[in-house]
Structure 1
Amino acid sequence: MANSGLSINTTGVADAARQLDELADRLEQTFHEEEAGLTVVAPGRDEVSVRAATTMNEVRDSYAKSSQQGLNELREISAALRVHGTNTEVIDSDFRF
């Protein structure tokens, strides 16, 4: 690969993967810490109060599902970066003289 013109900073790739994992961890921790505050309790038993609280809690649940999917994507990207970085190191070592 010395003549391919391809150059990858595998240390930088590994660092980027680590940072993505850390970001996903911080986002997940923040969501769990704030989850109780996102739960809406109906202030009364009337239909409007109950329906409004139910709707807001459904939105919270939808957001939780979407954010978890986003966290999974971040972790998958991080894993892919690690694998490609490692594979690049192995391939490069095969071409060293």
Structure 2
Amino acid sequence: NSEPAEPIVSELVTALLNGCRDADYRTQILCGQCLGELGAIDIGRLELISKSPDVLLTNFHPSINDENFAFGLINVVVKAFLAATEPRVQ
């Protein structure tokens, strides 16, 4: 029984989740990165806004079989690996 998150947080997460479904691949990646920057959020505290409640969460996860998903994931992992300043962090 936790207190609901501020409405602006719910609106922000909703907008970013919707952006992850955008037709433009770069938009998807940028929205995903923004969600990553937000960190762990208790989804139970959010009031997600969607015209169709089932659509928002069921369509959020891209297919791991999608070539664009794999390509984007590899790019993010490689950039993080190369950005590490210490070999131990890699």
TM over 0.5: no
Higher RCO, 1 or 2 (CA under 8 Å, sep at least 6)?
1
Query: Under TM normalisation by the shorter chain, which class is it?
Result: under 0.3
Task: Give the helix-richer structure, 1 or 2.
Answer: 1
Query: Structure 2 length as normaliser, TM-score?
Result: 0.27
